[in-house]
Amino acid sequence: MNAFKNARHLFRVAAVFVVGGLAFVGVRALLVPKSFGQYGHYRGNAIAEIAARPVNYAGHQACEDCHTDVLEKKKSGKHVHVNCEACHGPQAKHVDDPGSVQPVKFDTAVLCVRCHEANIAKPKGFPQVASADHSNGLACDTCHQPHSPAITAGETTGGTK
């Protein structure tokens, strides 16, 4: 009997663990979403929720079907692999209804430096300029045609204007 008396504290500790375990299982059941684990270690319903979001990008194929002139110009220049929406932004709405939704004109002083501002962290071979010195405050498309930006010795293209 003595041994049982001395063991009571062990039962108390065991009880604490049992209650704690049950509390954990209960709280977990409340907090973990139902579809968790359906396909793996994530919430299964997340897939349907993401798929239901509106599509904002149309993809360059769509643009090129209509704007064949721009495609031709771009093909011959260094921006050949920079796709339309990388500069013009998501344009799915414009593609659906080009008559009434048109891309906004943007400020080339902001657009071009996003990729071309000189930065030590960029690959050496990537064309980059210190814009303040390079452009003298002029808009980049004063001299560079955005769709085919290289300038042949000494001349400017007049941009798109």
Residue 94 near residue 102, CB atoms below 8 Å = yes
Given the complex with ligand HEC, which of 46 and 139 has the nearer CB atom?
139
**Judged by CB under 6 A, which of 35, 46, 82, 93 binds ligand HEC?**
82
Query: Is residue 70 near ligand HEC by the rule CB under 6 A?
Result: yes
CA–CA separation, 98 vs 109, rounded Å?
26
Residue 88 near residue 161, CB atoms below 8 Å = no
**Judged by CB under 6 A, which of 5, 9, 105, 124 binds ligand HEC?**
105
Query: Is residue 131 near ligand HEC by the rule CB under 6 A?
Result: yes
Q: Look-up: residue for tokens 């962290």?
A: 121
Binding-site residue total for ligand HEC (CB under 6 A)? 56
Angle at 23 between CA 21 and CA 29, to 5 degrees: 105
Among candidate residues 119, 120, 116, the one with its CA nearest the CA of residue 79: 116
Q: Which residues bind ligand HEC (CB under 6 A)?
A: 58, 60, 62-67, 70-71, 74, 78-79, 82, 84-88, 91, 94-95, 98, 102-103, 105-106, 108-109, 111-116, 125-129, 131, 134-135, 138, 140-144, 146-147, 149-151, 156, 160
